[in-house]
Amino acid sequence: MFLRNESFKEFLRFYPIVSGLVALHLVLWILIDLLQLDFARALESWGVGVNALVLNGEYWRLVTPIFLHNGLGHAFFNSFSLVLFGPALERMLGKVKFSITYLFAGIIANLGAFLVNPDAFYVHLGASGAIFGIFGVYVYMVLKRKDLIDQANSQIIMVIFILGLVMTFRPGIHILGHLFGLVGGFAIAPIVLRNAGTYSLWQLRAKYSRTYDDDEIRFNPNRWQNKKRFGGGNGKNIFWGVIIFLVVIAIFGRYL
């Protein structure tokens, strides 16, 4: 589920939305922070989330903060999280539904911060609310659609969920964005997952240029028992890889 074995070209072809979002994060960081171009700085000022300006009618600020970040560390760790957790969901939902889910969760995160935070001059930016929306969809699968995800990956998701919540309540973290993003992803999950797992193998093969078995098409409960394709220790390797990743995030949590 979280193991990436594609080449760079295959990754771009199979996951165009995740690839495009990561590219946008990095391009904006280069223009705003590295090159410090005037028009890019103006773009950041125009797009950052500020409650008082949203209240004044600048409603686009409920959307634009999803794509902006505060420096390289912030952009890198959110992009890395997206690369790690986004591809499996983009594969399952398809480009349109994945894009809708990501934007919906990000907007709900920013809307929640606007409605609940009493500080009119509260400023925020970053993709973490939308990324927590991805976690929200996974949590919904664990709780409500066990046919779509195997036990090993369910355990990984719940570890991510628990540690993610713990790390959310740290100084400098966009707490409301994380919580409302998670709620947004969970809320939209039953809609976008309604037909998940019903696409034929031939339809999915037509969508991707290389051949996959049934175990790769959806989160098959038996996929990790396939010793031919996956070595016996790969499930554990992925689990500990995620744990190490979360430890890194915890250390550098101020960037999220």
Q: Give CA–CA dist 131/48, Å, rounded.
A: 18
Q: Which of 25, 69, 74, 178 is catalytic?
A: 178
**What is the C-alpha end-to-end distance of the chain, expressed in Å?**
23
Q: Which of 19, 79, 81, 128 is catalytic?
A: 128
Say if residues 152 and 220 touch (Cβ distance below 8 Å): no
Alpha carbon of 89 to those of 2, 108, 169, 172: distances in Å?
Answer: 10, 19, 26, 29
| Residue 49 β-bridge partners | 124
Q: Give CA–CA dist 180/152, Å, rounded.
A: 27
Catalytic residue status for 128? yes
Catalytic residue status for 74? no
Active-site amino acid positions: 128, 178
